[in-house]
Structure 1
Amino acid sequence: MTDAVVAGGGLAGLVAARHLAEAGLDVTVFEERDDVGGRVRTARADGYTFDRGFQVIFSAYPAVQRELDVEALSPRPFTPGATIARPNHRSVLSDPLRKPTAAPQTVFNQEVRTADKLRLFRLQRELADRDPETILDGGGTTIADYLGRKGFSKRFVERFAAPFYGGITLDRSLGTDSAVFEYTYKMLSEGEIFVPADGMQAMPEQLADRAVAAGATIETGRAVTGVRGEGDEATVEVGSETLTADAAVVATDPATATELTAVDGIPTDALGCVTQYFSLPTSMAPKTGKRIVLNAADERPNTVAPLSAVASEYAPEGMELYSATFLGIPEEDDETLASEVREAVGSWYPEASFGDLELLRTDRVPFAQFPQPPGFRDSLPDPDAPAGPVALAGDYTRWSSIQGALESGRVAADLLA
C-alpha cells in the first residue's frame, strides 16, 4: 500500500504530486506517455524548436508565480500589444505605459479609434484592484456582448479583439464567457507573455523536477486503467498491477478522466487548432519585432508569431522561425494551408519576399481547449466529485488555461493531504 497515486503527468498531476510529497506523503505518478507534459509538448529538428500548437506562459498568473521558478525557465517575452495586419497595411497597438517607445505608434494607430484606446486604459484601471478569483466567479455574458456594453466600437472588435482573443480562446466569434476576457486582460496588463528558451515543455519538466525533489516518484510509459474510491482507500489499476492507496488524484485528459471516475460534467467537447511552422532566411525576414501579428481581414491564418525574433534559440543561426495558427481543424491539406499563409503575410508585408518561406511542420491539435460559453464554470465538476479519497485535477475543474491546470493540482492535493 502506498500513500498517494497520481494518474497523469501533465501540469495538474505534477503540481498535485509535488504538494502531496511536500505534505509528507509517499507519492507515485503514472504517465502513459514516455515523457511528462500532457498537452504541453516540444519537438526539435534541424536546430528548430517546435511547441505543439502556439502556447505561451502568462507571467502574472498567480499559479505560475507560485508553482514555477520563472527565471530558471529563461523567459523570452513578447513585446506587449500586437501588430494589426491587413493587405497593404500594418499598425501597432500597445500599452504605452509599459512600452513607452511604442506610444507614438499606438497614439497614431488608425485601426483603433482614440475612444477605444481610452476605454482600454480605463478597463485596465478598473481591473487592477480586483481579485482574480472574484473575476472568474463573475462573467455570465459573452466577450462580444461585454465589449459592446463597455462601448467598444465594431471596428475595434473586428480588427483587434476578434483575432487577439480568438487566439487566446480559440473562438474568434468572442462567444466565450466575459470572465475569461477580464481575467486574461488583467494578467496581460500586469505581466508578460513568454516562451521558455528551451521550449514550452521546459515548464512541465521543471514541475517534474520539483516534484521529484519533494520526494515523488514518476513512472512514465505506464497508464492508469482503473481508479475506484471506497471508504478511506483508493484502488488503482496500472496495467496488470493493482495498487491500494490512501489517496488518488486523477489528472488525465478529460475523456480518460470520465472513463476512470464516471463523474458527470467533465467537459469533453473540444476546440482545436492547426499551427504551422515556417522558416525564412534572416536576410529576407520582414521587420516584425517581437509582437504577435493579428490578421484583421479574416481568420486564415488567425495569427502569426515571430518565434525566433522572441526566442533566438528556436531557430539556427541565419534563419527565422514563424508560427501561423488556424482556428478549428480546417479540412485543407498542409500545403494548401501553407499557401494561404504565404498569401496572407505577403499582403501584409509587400516590401518583403516570401519565396523562400518554407513549411517545416504542421501540428493539428484536435483538443486544445474546451468551450467556455457564458456560465460554463457552473457546470464544471468539483475536484472532490469522485467517491472516496479520489480527487480530480485538470483545468476542466477550473477554466481552460495553464493557470487553471496548475491551480487545480494544488487544490486536489489540499483535498487529500
Structure 2
Amino acid sequence: MSPDLDVAVVGAGVAGLTTAHELRRAGLTVRVFEEQPHVGGRMHTFRHQGYVIDEGAEQIPERGYRATWELLARLGVTGREVPRIGKAIGVWRDGRAHPGVADPAALVSGAGLSPRARLDLGRFLAWTALRRREFDGDHPERTPAGARTVAAFARRYHRDLHDYLLQPVAGCFFGWDTARSTAGPLISLMRSAGPVSGWRTYHDGMDLLARRLAEGLDVETGSPVHQLVGDGRAVKLHGPSGTVTARAAVLCVPAPVAARLHPGAPEDERAFLTACTFTPTLKVSCLLDRPLAPASPRPLYALLTPDAEDELLSGILIDHAKHPGRAPAGKGLLTLMADPRRIPELRGADPRETAGRLVEAAARYVPGLPGAVREHFMHGFTHGLPEATPRALALRPRFTARAPGPVEYAGDWLTLRPASEGAVRSAALAASRVLSRLGRSPSATLTSPAPRSDTLETA
C-alpha cells in the first residue's frame, strides 16, 4: 500500500508552515495537520471590534533575522506591511520609566542603570563586540559564555546589569528564569537583533507571516494527531479521523508535545526532547476607551517591570504605540505580561480574578487604567517559550548531528532561540534533512520568484 503523502507536517505555527512551504517548493506532496481551528500557533492574532490582538509578542529586527526577511521577500510581503515601530523600550525603577533599553545610548542615558553599572555595561558591550564571531545563533552551545546561566554570568558585573537589564529582558520577552537559562543564547540574540530603532512589526497582526504561508498549502485545521508510528520506511499518523500514512513526518510542535506524540523516538532524540523544557506564558489584552500609556521622557512601546520592582508583572506592551492600527482611532490597547514565577498560581485562579489582579498591578505604571478598560481577553500557552538550560545546551550537538530519519523536528526550541527567526531556520534545516532522504520531485523548481519593486530587501 503506497503512502497517502510524501510528508506530513504536524503543527501550523511558523515552523510547520515554513517547513511545508519549503517541501512544497521542492515538488513533494505535503499536508499540515493543526489541532487548533486556526494557523499561527504562538503567533496567532484575532480581531475584535476593530482591535487587532496578538496572542504572543513578536518584533522583527532589521538585523539578525536573515532567514525571516528572505522568506517575507519570497512571499511578496512589502515594506509597508512590516513598518518600523519607532518607539523605545523602558525599564521601571525608582518610581518612573527609564527609556533606552537595548539602545547604545544607554551608556549615557542610563536606561535605569546606576553610574557604576553603566561602566560595567560598557565593559560588557566591549567584551561581546570583541568576541562577536564566537556568538553564533545557529550554534548556541558554541559561545564564550559557556553553559553558565544568565544569573551566574552576570555576577562578574555590577548587580544592576542583571536586575535592570538582563533579567527584565529575559523575563519579559523570553519568560526565562535567569537562574535556569544560559547566557550564551540570550547574548547572541541581543547582539544579532541590534538597537531598538531598527525593530519592526507586522502592521496587521503578528500572524501575517503564518497567513501568507498557509495560502499556498494544504492545511487541515481542527485535525489533531494523537501518535506517530514509524517503521523505517513510512510513518503512520493516528488521529480521531483515522490514520494517514506518509513517507516522512515533521513534528513542528513544542519538544514536550513531540516527545508525547512520538514515543518510539530513538534514544539520542528522546534525550534532547526531554531536556528541552518550556516556560508558560500568560497575558491579558486590555481594550481601552482611550490611548493610555506609561509616562516617559520618550514614547514607549514596551515597559519592562523587573523582578526587583514587581512580583506580578514582567512587562507592559503598549500595542497602539507599537502600531496605530492595533486599536480603533481614539482607543488604546495594552498587553499585561504576567511574571513567569506567578503564572502557575494565576492560571489556577478564576480568569476574571486573574485579569483584575494584573490590571490593578499595572495601574501603578499606567494611572487611570482600571477605569479605561472596556473589555479584556486572557491568553496563555502551557508551552510558551523554550528555555536554554545547561542540559539542553549540552545535548544539542548530538541531536543535530544525528542522521536524517523518517521523523524530523522543527521549532524555535531546536535553536534554543525563542523567536520567529529560530522557527524559520529550524524549518529550513528540517526540510533539507527530509529532502536529503526522500529527494526532490524531478519537476520541482527551487527558483524564487523575482521580488516586486516594493518588496523588502533582505536584511
The residue aligned with 2:372 is 357
Please list, as runs of the form range in 1=range in 2, the aligned pairs for 1:92-131 lying within 5 A after superposition.
Answer: 92-94=99-101, 105-106=109-110, 110=114, 113-123=117-127, 125-126=129-130, 128-130=132-134, 131=136
After TM superposition, give the deviation of residue 335 of structure 1 in Å: 4.9
1:395 matched to 2:412? The reply is yes
* AA of the residue aligned to 1:67: L
Task: Please state if 1:6 is matched with 2:24.
Answer: no
8 A contact 1:8–1:31 mirrored in 2 = yes
Match of 1:181 in 2: 186
Q: Which moved more, 1:247-256 or 1:200-209?
A: 247-256
Match of 2:214 in 1: 208
Distance 1:377 1:335 in 2: 39
Query: CA RMSD for the aligned pairs?
Result: 3.2
Assess if the C-alpha contact under 8 Å between 2:320 and 2:332 holds in 1: yes
Q: 2: distance between equivalents of 1:15 and 1:400?
A: 16
| Corresponding position of 1:300 | 312
1:277 match: 285
Alignment match, 1:220: 221
Aligned with residue 62 of structure 1, among 46, 59, 66: 66
1:327 aligns with 2:327: no
Residue 312 (structure 1) aligned with residue 324 (structure 2):
yes
- Using the alignment, how far apart are the partners of 1:376 and 1:202 within structure 2? 31
* 1:197 Cα offset (Å): 1.4
SS at match of 2:190: helix
Deviation track 1:63-98 (CA, whole Å, cap 9, x = no partner) reads 32333336468224445762121353232234665x
2:15 and 2:424 in contact (8 A); partners too: yes
- Which SS does the other structure have where 1:34 is aligned? coil
Structure 1 Cα separation of the partners of residues 66 and 206 of structure 2: 18
Q: Is the CA contact (8 Å cut-off) linking 1:383 and 1:391 kept in structure 2?
A: no
Amino acid at match of 1:115: L
**Other-structure match for 2:34:** 31
Which residue number in structure 2 is paired with residue 161 of structure 1?
A: 166
2:442 match: none
Residue 269 of structure 1: how far off its partner (Å): 4.3
Q: Please list every run of 5 or more consecutive structure 1 residues that lacks an aligned counterpart in the other structure.
A: none
Question: Does structure 2 retain, via aligned residues, the 8 Å contact 1:292–1:303?
Answer: yes
Tell me what 2:201 maps to.
Answer: 195
Call closer, same or farther: CA 1:121–1:386 in 2, change over 3 Å. Answer: closer
CA distance in 2, matches of 1:240, 1:354: 47
SS in 2 for 1:411: helix
Q: For residue 202 of structure 1, what is the amino acid of its counterpart?
A: L
How far did residue 311 of structure 1 move?
Answer: 0.9
Residue among 86, 95, 102 paired with 1:88: 95
- Asked if the contact 1:229/1:386 (under 8 Å) is kept, the reply is no
1:377 pairs with 2:377: no
Q: For structure 1, which segment, 334-343 or 82-91, has the greater mean C-alpha deviation from structure 2 after superposition?
A: 334-343
How many angstroms apart in 2 are the aligned matches of 1:250 and 1:405? 12
Deviations 1:319-364, CA, capped at 9 Å, x for gaps: 1111111123133544555555455544446xx5435231512223
What is residue 47 of structure 1 aligned with on the other side?
50
- Tell me how far apart the structure 2 counterparts of residues 108 and 218 of structure 1 sit (CA, whole Å): 47
Q: Distance in 1 between matches of 2:21 and 2:193?
A: 28
Structure 1 pair 306–103 and aligned structure 2 pair: CA distance change class (3 A): farther
Output the TM-score relative to the length of structure 1.
0.84
- Is the partner of 1:33 in helix, strand or coil? coil
Q: For residue 218 of structure 1, what is the amino acid of its counterpart?
A: V
| Cα separation, partners in 2 of 1:294 and 1:107, compared to 1, 3 Å | closer
Structure 2 counterpart of 1:223, one-letter code: P
Q: TM-score normalised to the size of structure 2?
A: 0.77
1:414 aligns with 2:428: no
* Deviates further, 133-142 or 111-120: 111-120
Q: Which has the larger displacement, 318-327 or 399-408?
A: 399-408
After the TM superposition, which of the residue ranges 71-80 and 249-258 deviates more from structure 2?
71-80
Over the matched positions of the two proteins, sequence identity in percent amounts to: 22
Indicate the SS of the match to 1:304. Answer: strand
| AA at the equivalent of 1:188 | A
Aligned to 1:141: 148
Code of the aligned partner of 1:153? H
Inter-partner Cα distance in structure 2 for 1:168 and 1:113: 22
